[in-house]
A and B are shown apart, each in its own frame.
Chain A
């Protein structure tokens, strides 16, 4: 018979760190599943596969880093992995990046997150910064282009409003602005491209409720963080005469909700006391709003989390003591911090102004090599005159000429010829003008030939000068030649009279 000695109590709750991490993984999994469904259905399977590849890359790099660390520090690999939860960091980091991120950039970010963000501090529980946030910051600093540039996605709501100085005080501009993203409602639903897991606020909030009920995260952090942002944004809205849309926009844009639910709640890097976590969350809200509206960064969530992580030890010192005797002190800290936030944001809001969007200039074309009107190039695939109207000296001809789409590109379905109107002065024997009736060639390339700079070259050319030539548009040689071909057909039709 053995009577084992153990210190009391000898009774334990079912809840374990393993279960907390499992629930968190499930919550993150739901968000990731939404992202996959979005990219597979709204874009193409290539994008969906890229999203799968990103997750695989991050997980593999995270595990390799942990295993290598365990091997070199002579720890038991299995127990090290089970107590280190690398996959949580990997998943969070992957959900923070946009779809166009390269595998290499994400792999680098993951390594940084796991190794420099966590292991060098002594491993899980010892790290000062949220590892995923540290990894994302490293990616932004090292791979700004690779990590952010995105051919599929237009500017994100956050980047767009940042260009406008984080405010729009003209009601008609507001509607136009929000409509770019399908309105506020669509931004909450998340049906627009952005960081993989950050777009659907509604889904993240549902997961948040699950995690709060399962006691995985403390309700104080998301509730106070989001409320602070809401209140401070409302303050800006009031001081700048903006509507209710403004605080809602703050909540619905960028990584705020995702960060509030999945990153600010990271227990390792936030204070251990309830009062401390409340102060931590308010601090996050203040910093997020300040960074958004005033700093040189488009988004404030990531850096406010990293900054508040740094302040966690100080908050712990502040709230240390006998909690039931400290309530007054906690209330004073809470009130002071809130007041500082309100004053700072109010002060800053007085310096804010609406930056009207800059209308982008039309792209200018450059002209390249010359092409002769009667050269060999225009002899190929001759254009056909479909209509001719004589009005005194001026003969107007409608010419159908095969462009690039018909002659070179066999990918387009049912390509059509370009139709041009060529006016010729039969007395002076020179061309009056050349213009498009219908343009059916490649968009963005061939349509450079619509530019006056190109078409105006034809005006005044002699129809009897065999050496007459115009310069083609650089990058649109084929379409330029098709215009020259139409002109040749028109001249030949007039001369044949």
Chain B
């Protein structure tokens, strides 16, 4: 909060109690799993298996190989059936590789475990690339890209904030894998060349903080940093500003830090120890639209419908089925989308009527925008088709965190207006 700009953040009611202490429900794959052939919106992916090939858990089945390398692995053992286009959690129909599950879960190590302490930095980066470690915070950015060529990095920030309401998957994953977290962070610290790693956890999560601190006794260079319970504290820029009081233009490396998700560190640690990639995910299925909210442990490629059925089904005839948390997740008009290596939640809410009234120009969206934009002004400019003003207002900097819509007392879809403005800018670039 300053005189000039508002708070740029907001405490949200988290509803985390619905799922944070329940048992994790194990959901097996059904007859088929569907591996989405997409990485960071790129579908430039080479499939390495043919129809009829036998695969095992861990078999590399496809690879993205343009300017980034991202391998894809089978999450079950069985037979490749072919390709099918189904709805993906990004709200786009995409090609998926269909594998028939034989139910045996026979494993195959696609790569060997590595002793990260002995390995050179370069070997470790290659290992990370080949293990297909991607950002587990939701975007799926190939993690090795951040460590390829680190320069003047002083701090590694491990993001264990999990600021979206309802989601507790990371919390459970970290609680249950503290040793892997420490191992993963140590390895990442080596990769980053930074002096210190800070694990950022929201201050109300006292139990978790105590657990992590206990595991860090005797470990030098890794500390826990408590951060306030506000949204979007998990966004890289907000988190970096909170911890370092510095802003950057494009990448956090400009001011000497690398940010990675805590569950990414855990996945990395598992790969280091076991030689296995991400083939299973812990996801939160929560909200008032599902009978029994829970965290589930499920192979990649299982359809949402199967998981919901396992949890007792929907609690309403009309729901909003959201891939992710309610703030940034998109509503998907069917429940056929599948678990991805980078997804961490499905939020299911009863559809409720929203009565919107005219904008009263209160400016709450402007004061709360974590990117420091002026959403109501962008909306006005978009409605007036005033391209110059949209450019001036930097609509391109919107990360679609949704806070402007959240705070709007008139219940308007402010974020959608900014999204439209962004699209206008993108079209203009082309």
Contacts and interface: CB of A to CB of B under 8 A. Distances in A.
Contacts of B419: 7
Contacts of A4: 318-320, 331, 333, 351
Contact of A323 (B331, B372, B403): B372
Most B CB contacts (10 A, CB to CB) among A7, A8, A125, A270 go to A8
B168 to A, nearest CB: 16
Contact of B376 (A13, A272, A321): A272
B394 A321 contact: yes
Contacts of B393: 320-322
B215 to A, nearest CB: 33
B330 A16 contact: no
Contacts of A278: 3-4
A17 B361 CA distance: 11
Interface string A305-322: 000000000001001111
A277 B360 contact: no
A415 interface: no
A218 B377 CA distance: 18
Q: Is the interface of B mostly helix, strand, loop or mixed?
A: loop
Interface stretch (A324-332, A388-396, A438-446): A324-332
Interface string B331-358: 1111100000000000101010010011
A273 interface: yes
A18 B372 CA distance: 27
Contact of A3 (B247, B334, B363): B334
Interface string A123-153: 1111000000000000000000000000000
B367 interface: yes
Interface of B: 2-6, 10, 12, 165, 247, 314, 317-322, 326-335, 347, 349, 351, 354, 357-363, 366-367, 369, 371-374, 376-377, 389, 392-394, 397, 400-403, 405-411, 413, 415-416, 419
Contacts of A274: 2-6, 363, 366-367
A268 interface: yes
A8 B389 contact: no
Contacts of A10: 320, 322, 326, 329, 331, 347, 349
B357 A83 contact: yes
Contacts, number: 174
Given A17-B409, A268-B360, A322 B4 contact: no
Interface string A173-203: 0000000000000000000000000000000
Nearest to B409: A17
In which size bucket is the chain A interface?
Answer: 35 or more
B363 A9 contact: no
B282 to A, nearest CB: 22
A270 B376 CA distance: 13
Interface string A1-43: 1111111111111011111100000000000000000000000
A15 B365 CA distance: 13
Given A8-B331, A10-B320, A330 B405 contact: no
B394 to A, nearest CB: 4
A20 B411 CA distance: 13
Given A17-B410, A272-B363, A274-B363, A9 B405 contact: yes
Nearest to B241: A324
Nearest to A273: B366
Contacts of B358: 83, 123-126
A273 B365 CA distance: 9
Contacts of B366: 272-274, 323
Contact of B409 (A2, A3, A20, A325): A20
A399 to B, nearest CB: 76
Contacts of A319: 374
Most B CB contacts (10 A, CB to CB) among A9, A15, A16 go to A9
24 contacts: A4-B351, A5-B331, A6-B320, A6-B351, A7-B419, A8-B328, A8-B329, A10-B331, A10-B349, A11-B402, A13-B406, A15-B407, A15-B409, A17-B409, A18-B357, A124-B360, A220-B3, A273-B366, A275-B3, A322-B373, A323-B4, A323-B373, A324-B371, A330-B4
A347 interface: no
B326 A9 contact: yes
A132 B332 CA distance: 47
B306 to A, nearest CB: 15
Contacts of B328: 8-9
Nearest 3 interchain pairs by C-beta: A9-B402, A324-B372, A272-B363
A473 B328 CA distance: 89
Contacts of B376: 272
A272 B328 CA distance: 24
A267 B401 CA distance: 24
A271 interface: yes
Nearest to B358: A125
A1 B315 CA distance: 10
A265 B300 CA distance: 53
